[in-house]
């Protein structure tokens, strides 16, 4: 059946695949690599309504469509156990998945949890992790229905899959934005990134002077946004109650700039953001100045806010205008207009995945 028969297998010295005759993954980047690898796959099944390329896949087994997503967190890459308490980590690992389900305008229902752990972790440590997972399940009315447990040579890897459902006419993709649509966001941006910068700074201080306990009581909002994000399920419920159907939606995991570019690319449109309308919490603004950072740069490039970025038809303007904690930050335009930031100073700058480009 295939040229991949077991008899053809041989033992190779696999690091050869990393030699200089091969392409460095950094040349493609994360999204380039996903595109490259997935381009070899075509969808074979009519029950796959959406495969790779959105916040979650959409599967139709003849009934309510099933929405499915998966995300992996790796110690040392996505979290540092020096400042991520295990209970918070468990909670956040669930939330980042539920956020992707919400980004499809769907309701999360089930999760599976897979963990790889080294012998450095005790039963009590795993109980803490799972307590965070349990609290998230309770808060979002989700059931834990399976997973996998294995050992790792070093550190922890946590992989969660979430399943949800949506009414077939209400599923919202990244690809539905049209010129003239209003661009909205469900909450303030940049705070989670600044929270991480504070935790990183305090870690360095602690490592240099272990007797000093950090004074973080004035930074609670920012650290909370980093350590205990929420999925925007209330917004999804509000949309349904008020008969509001966004034309496109994505959750902001990588930063406003990068995630807006995903909507624009998938929808074949341009967009502008009004800098003055981008919601930034007062504490985030102050903290950005303390770090000598531009608050708008933190909002555009920070990531991990897990707010929803969505577009609505102008006829629905009143429905979003009066929606609690929804901010209108810009508009969708024709593709030739590009994706730009209208600064408070009256300038127009192209937005790139890294944020925005100065001339």
The answer to whether residue 55 forms part of the interface with ligand ADP (CB under 6 A) is yes
Detail the DSSP E strand segments found in 81-174.
107-117, 143-151, 157-165
Restricting to residues 64-93, which ones interact with ligand ADP according to CB under 6 A?
A: 71
Instruction: Work out how close the CB of 55 gets to Mg ion at its nearest, in angstroms, rounded to a whole number.
Output: 4
Nearest to 198 by CA among 221, 176, 179: 221
Query: Among 18, 25, 34, 276, which residue sits at the site for ligand ADP (rule: CB under 6 A)?
Result: 34
User: Which CB, 107 or 261, lies closer to ligand ADP?
Assistant: 261
Instruction: Work out how close the CB of 42 gets to ligand ADP at its nearest, in angstroms, rounded to a whole number.
Output: 13
Residue entry with tokens 């008969």: 243
User: Which CB, 37 or 317, lies closer to ligand ADP?
Assistant: 37
The answer to whether residue 38 forms part of the interface with ligand ADP (CB under 6 A) is yes
User: What letter would DSSP give residue 268?
Assistant: T
The answer to whether residue 25 forms part of the interface with ligand ADP (CB under 6 A) is no
The answer to whether residue 340 forms part of the interface with ligand ADP (CB under 6 A) is no
CA 213 to chain centre: 31
Joined together, the tokens standing for residue 335 give 């593709």
User: Which CB, 284 or 308, lies closer to ligand ADP?
Assistant: 308
CA 28 to chain centre: 20
Instruction: Work out how close the CB of 178 gets to ligand ADP at its nearest, in angstroms, rounded to a whole number.
Output: 22
The answer to whether residue 253 forms part of the interface with ligand ADP (CB under 6 A) is yes
Task: Provide the binding-site residues for Mg ion, judged by CB under 5 A.
Answer: 55, 100, 251, 253
User: What letter would DSSP give residue 275?
Assistant: G
Give phi and psi for 154, each to the nearest 5: -160, 130
Nearest to 121 by CA among 94, 96, 90, 95: 90
How many amino acids of this chain bind ligand ADP (CB under 6 A)?
A: 9
- The CA–CA distances, whole Å, from 319 to 160, 195, 244, 328, 344 equal 34, 32, 7, 12, 26
The answer to whether residue 54 forms part of the interface with ligand ADP (CB under 6 A) is yes
CA angle 176, 261, 239 (to 5 degrees): 40
Query: Among 43, 52, 317, 348, which residue sits at the site for ligand ADP (rule: CB under 6 A)?
Result: 52
Partner touching 38 among Mg ion, ligand ADP, none, CB below 5 to 8 Å by kind: ligand ADP
Cβ 313 vs Cβ 247: under 8 Å? yes
Instruction: Work out how close the CB of 273 gets to ligand ADP at its nearest, in angstroms, rounded to a whole number.
Output: 20
Partner touching 34 among Mg ion, ligand ADP, none, CB below 5 to 8 Å by kind: ligand ADP
Check residue 30 and give left, alpha or beta (phi > 0: left; psi -120 to 50: alpha).
alpha
Nearest to 56 by CA among 116, 130, 109: 109
- What whole-number distance in Å separates Cα of residue 154 and Cα of residue 118? 5
User: Which CB, 128 or 251, lies closer to Mg ion?
Assistant: 251
Partner touching 340 among Mg ion, ligand ADP, none, CB below 5 to 8 Å by kind: none
Partner touching 188 among ligand ADP, Mg ion, none, CB below 5 to 8 Å by kind: none
Instruction: Work out how close the CB of 212 gets to ligand ADP at its nearest, in angstroms, rounded to a whole number.
Output: 37
Contact pattern from residue 184 through residue 213 relative to ligand ADP, giving x for each residue in contact according to CB under 6 A and a dash for the rest: ------------------------------
Partner touching 230 among ligand ADP, Mg ion, none, CB below 5 to 8 Å by kind: none
Detail the DSSP E strand segments found in 35-106.
48-50, 57-59, 66-74
Joined together, the tokens standing for residue 28 give 């493609």
> Residues in the site for ligand ADP, rule: CB under 6 A?
34, 38, 52-55, 71, 100, 253
């Amino acid at each position: 059946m295939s040229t991949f028969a077991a008899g053809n297998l041989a033992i190779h010295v696999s690091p050869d695949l990393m030699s200089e005759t091969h392409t460095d993954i950094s040349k493609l980047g994360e999204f380039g690599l996903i595109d490259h690898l997935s381009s070899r796959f075509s969808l074979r099944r009519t029950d796959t309504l959406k495969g790779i390329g959105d916040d979650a896949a959409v599967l139709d087994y003849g009934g309510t469509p099933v929405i499915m997503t998966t995300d992996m967190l790796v110690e040392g890459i996505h979290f540092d156990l020096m400042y991520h308490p295990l209970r918070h980590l468990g909670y956040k690992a669930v939330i980042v998945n539920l956020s992707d389900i919400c980004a499809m305008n769907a309701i999360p229902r089930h999760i599976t949890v897979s963990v790889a752990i080294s012998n450095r972790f005790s039963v009590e440590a795993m109980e803490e992790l799972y307590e965070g997972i349990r609290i998230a399940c309770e808060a979002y009315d989700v059931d834990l229905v399976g997973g996998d447990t294995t050992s790792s040579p070093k550190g922890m890897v946590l992989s969660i899959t979430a399943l949800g459902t949506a009414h077939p006419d209400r599923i919202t993709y990244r690809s539905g934005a049209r010129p003239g649509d209003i661009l909205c966001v469900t909450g303030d941006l940049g705070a989670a990134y600044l929270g991480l910068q504070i935790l990183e700074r305090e870690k360095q201080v602690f490592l240099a002077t272990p007797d000093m306990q950090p004074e973080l009581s004035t930074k609670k909002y920012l650290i909370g946004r980093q350590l205990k994000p929420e999925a925007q399920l209330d917004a999804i419920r509000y949309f349904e109650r008020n008969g509001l159907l966004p034309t496109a939606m994505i959750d902001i995991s990588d930063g406003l700039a990068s995630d807006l570019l995903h909507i624009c690319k998938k929808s074949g449109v341009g967009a502008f953001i009004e800098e003055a309308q981008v919601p930034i919490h007062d504490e985030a603004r102050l903290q950005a100045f303390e770090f000598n950072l531009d608050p708008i740069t933190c909002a555009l490039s920070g990531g991990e806010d897990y707010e929803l970025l969505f577009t609505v038809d102008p006829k629905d303007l009143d429905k979003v205008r009066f929606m609690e904690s929804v901010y209108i930050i810009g508009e969708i335009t024709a593709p030739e207009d590009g994706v730009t930031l209208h600064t408070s100073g009256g300038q127009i700058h192209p937005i790139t995945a890294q944020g925005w480009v100065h001339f």
